Structure 1
């Protein structure tokens, strides 16, 4: 039955996946898109795997539907380097001109958003917006920080800026000495600087400011960015931007494209189920919870084989959690500590360690959760309250299971040969027959005769079953007896005192 249920669940899951794969997102289900439309792809929040997937598929759809312009409406504090580079590759390979429009008012394009703006064919900002602060965030734990705003890292052979007064720690403000930089940080800075310089040269934008945005983490307002040729336009809204770029020609991977966007129809794309699903599971908090559910589900399944549901839910959750983590910048030492901590907590339920494994598991889990996400980017850390809540739940869960196991061990045996000793039964014969008066002599009966014991044998009902019994005391039908031993298929009984019995339990006359 369990196997049948598991097969049904698997078939339903496959049918659901097949049905979902055949359904196009709601925003893509339009019967037809007018050729020459302008596609708007709104992006808000940190740049991550879900955002990259949404933008890449949006640009691909703009090319398939022969749009003449794709606009990324951007508002981001930054994001992951791998996701940013995936987006930039899609922009550079797009046969449709791509405009990055930092909007609405109050929006920003910091860090990764600055690179995406520089990579786009058209860069525009709404009034009251800003961009910049493109320094790479230092990865790992215990490393040095990236340059702060106003600090210029010294290049090889350079000295700190002259005229700077000494800071409280003895270092010159406005400069980050080369000797104080780790090799990893220098590599990140030089790589990021070369990357944005190449994008600036490709699009003919301000190269010097791009380098400063990386080296000094500087930012610009919309009007300053336009004055310094960092962006091409300031537009109140998307229709205003479309009017300003109307009639201009831009080079794309498919050749030169002349825009005629003044009165072009606008198609706004929205994240579909796939993008929303990726956004949910790639949240580090959700990924950590999925790992826990997966571990505990498999633990229950292995402890109770054939229960099916914990195993199915645990396997799915564990695979989803691992899929999410491979899209994120994960510290594998932290991930190993999380698994080790969960293993210790589970082992605490079965081994008499008196809390040693449980305490060690808590410490390993907390340290692993703190180290799990290998970046300081906003929106990608696991907050301490979340870690504390998970630890408390795990401790209560494991020690609750341990308590149930201990209580189960203290319960008396209710099945098997041990359980029948001490049980009370009812004699079924009108009178037990002396062993010497019957031919049904067992080895135990002959042993009793050799020792001179006047043993009698007969039948009694014990645990609802008909048993052959022997006793040294005369008993009548209906008498209660207590089992004192078992020899093969014969029970040794002694009188337990008369107890009221139903009439149907008696055998014989009356």
Structure 2
């Protein structure tokens, strides 16, 4: 047996060595082929620019750098989004060692507002036919500027001195020379935001030798261009029907990178898709205004039910989780804080109506504040709470409030169930004959009784009052004014 094992080992060892060597060579060949294979990483953003979009884009750039990708293609269709997220994406794009081509697609897509800035910042600005860009005017979020901002915006008071004709002509010439017909903003805060946006988009356009004057008009006047018009006015670089057409057109093109100029070699690139993963989808869902609004409502009501029923745990746990998720979402949404304050005030008044009934005054005020606050909670047109959702929540809250009011009104009409008030008027049975003091059975208990008339055993008596452990009674048949218990 030992001899047989020795023979088998002597014959198998050479074959095992050959097999391992073959696997090693195959692995090395595969690794070399993978290293020599040139690819382009394709990402997709379809929707508003948010922190979830920024996180997804920056992770894509990191992956492209790790894989030594030759190009990153961002397939974009957006109505706009948050300024902070857009600037984070642009900063990462400008610092990237891998060139980025922003491709507005498919047909019918748009790169509005924040999308225009991303297109201007890209190393290659491309659009599909039947797409457009523009409307890059910044919109003030959060319910207005800082206190006193309106004071800065006030025009200087008119002077008592009347300017001469020469001075008036000089001022008119200065205005024409400086281009004061451009949109400047009505308040000091608007002017600050607008001028900052103009300087930002002009710097991006000039970096890649694009039409900076049109980019400024897109910010000041919210103008738009179609794909063909943008190409004709040197706003974009390419109009491509698909990604393969895009790669063919930009092959050999020179782009401006952070470290200098680079010539693109895109003719034989293979496409490597990097679609949004579950993390990006989850963050996008939570940051949806309707979802955030619903989470806030569920969270507040969960905490209310927990406080009304201490120890229930389930509503309190669910409410705390939903409220924390809502607060996270509100940090990444364009919140109008006046609207949020009105929503919280409305919920507080509704709770006050339930705990301190005011016959509808607090409740009606709470519903009005809740609805008005919900309407203005998200003051961005592309990130607004759905009106049907607001109406549905308001109807549910109104129904709950009506039920509470009717319930309390019904309880006020019911006779007392506990305490001295409940005993007065009840019927007792005499346990013995007595004239002034004796004992009666009341609610299954033995009580001391006091009366001004003679009482027979087993006679029905009406309780007229209570003094400690003694009840004052009177015969039912002579108590004509008493009501039946």
Same fold (TM over 0.5): yes
Could you say if the C-alpha distance between residues 404 and 352 of structure 1 is closer, same or farther in structure 2, counting changes exceeding 3 Å? closer
Match of residue 401, structure 2, among 380, 398, 403: 398
Match of residue 183, structure 1, among 172, 183, 188: 188
Residue aligning to 1:124: 126
Match of residue 138, structure 2, among 132, 136, 139: 136
Are the aligned partners of 1:79 and 1:112 in contact in 2 as well (CA < 8 Å)? yes
Alignment of 1:456-495 (within 5 A): 467-468=445-446, 473-474=456-457
1:234 aligns with 2:236: no
Match of residue 313, structure 1, among 309, 318, 338: 318
Could you say if the C-alpha distance between residues 61 and 486 of structure 1 is closer, same or farther in structure 2, counting changes exceeding 3 Å? farther
Are the aligned partners of 1:76 and 1:110 in contact in 2 as well (CA < 8 Å)? yes
1:324 aligns with 2:317: no
Residue aligning to 2:382: 379
Are the aligned partners of 1:76 and 1:107 in contact in 2 as well (CA < 8 Å)? yes
Shift of 1:315: 1.8
Shift of 1:72: 0.7
1:300 aligns with 2:305: yes
Residue aligning to 1:169: none
Alignment of 1:74-113 (within 5 A): 74-113=76-115
1:225-272: CA deviation from partner (whole Å, max 9, x where unpaired): 233332222222112222333455655457776654333332222222
Could you say if the C-alpha distance between residues 354 and 481 of structure 1 is closer, same or farther in structure 2, counting changes exceeding 3 Å? closer
Could you say if the C-alpha distance between residues 137 and 261 of structure 1 is closer, same or farther in structure 2, counting changes exceeding 3 Å? same
Shift of 1:468: 4.6
TM-score norm. by structure 1 comes to 0.68
Alignment of 1:140-289 (within 5 A): 157-159=174-176, 175=181, 181-248=186-253, 250=255, 252-253=257-258, 259-289=264-294
SS at match of 1:349: helix
Could you say if the C-alpha distance between residues 254 and 490 of structure 1 is closer, same or farther in structure 2, counting changes exceeding 3 Å? farther
1:431-477: CA deviation from partner (whole Å, max 9, x where unpaired): x789xxxxxxxxxxxxx8xxx658468xx8966xxx556686446xx
SS at match of 1:262: coil
Q: What is the distance in 2 between the residues matched to 1:374 and 1:238?
A: 36
Are the aligned partners of 2:142 and 2:335 in contact in 1 as well (CA < 8 Å)? no
SS at match of 2:236: coil
SS at match of 2:175: coil
Q: What is the distance in 2 between the residues matched to 1:271 and 1:108?
A: 19
1:333-377: CA deviation from partner (whole Å, max 9, x where unpaired): 2211211121112212233433222232233223322332243xx
CA RMSD in angstroms, aligned pairs only:
4.0
Q: What is the distance in 1 between the residues matched to 2:324 and 2:214?
A: 44
Are the aligned partners of 1:41 and 1:268 in contact in 2 as well (CA < 8 Å)? yes
Shift of 1:115: 0.6
Are the aligned partners of 1:469 and 1:493 in contact in 2 as well (CA < 8 Å)? no
Could you say if the C-alpha distance between residues 338 and 160 of structure 1 is closer, same or farther in structure 2, counting changes exceeding 3 Å? farther
1:288-327: CA deviation from partner (whole Å, max 9, x where unpaired): 2222222222222212222222222222222222221111
Residue aligning to 2:61: 59
Q: What is the distance in 2 between the residues matched to 1:191 and 1:118?
A: 16
Q: What is the distance in 2 between the residues matched to 1:470 and 1:387?
A: 61
Could you say if the C-alpha distance between residues 414 and 273 of structure 1 is closer, same or farther in structure 2, counting changes exceeding 3 Å? farther
Q: What is the distance in 1 between the residues matched to 2:49 and 2:42?
A: 17
Are the aligned partners of 1:43 and 1:73 in contact in 2 as well (CA < 8 Å)? yes
Match of residue 50, structure 1, among 35, 38, 52: 52
Match of residue 37, structure 1, among 29, 33, 39: 39
Q: What is the distance in 2 between the residues matched to 1:420 and 1:157?
A: 93
Are the aligned partners of 1:56 and 1:87 in contact in 2 as well (CA < 8 Å)? yes
SS at match of 1:43: strand
Moved more, 107-116 or 200-209: 200-209
Residue aligning to 2:157: none
Q: What is the distance in 2 between the residues matched to 1:34 and 1:292?
A: 51
1:123-168: CA deviation from partner (whole Å, max 9, x where unpaired): 1122222222322235577999xxxxxxxxxx99524999xxxxxx
Structure (1/2) with the larger helix percentage = 2
Residue aligning to 1:361: 366
Q: What is the distance in 2 between the residues matched to 1:292 and 1:128?
A: 41
Shift of 1:99: 0.8
Could you say if the C-alpha distance between residues 34 and 329 of structure 1 is closer, same or farther in structure 2, counting changes exceeding 3 Å? farther
1:1-31: CA deviation from partner (whole Å, max 9, x where unpaired): xxxxxxxxxxxxxxxxxxxxxxxxxxxxxxx
Alignment size in residue pairs? 413
Could you say if the C-alpha distance between residues 274 and 254 of structure 1 is closer, same or farther in structure 2, counting changes exceeding 3 Å? farther
Are the aligned partners of 1:349 and 1:399 in contact in 2 as well (CA < 8 Å)? no
Residue aligning to 1:170: none
Could you say if the C-alpha distance between residues 455 and 188 of structure 1 is closer, same or farther in structure 2, counting changes exceeding 3 Å? closer
Q: What is the distance in 1 between the residues matched to 2:365 and 2:226?
A: 51
Q: What is the distance in 2 between the residues matched to 1:462 and 1:219?
A: 85
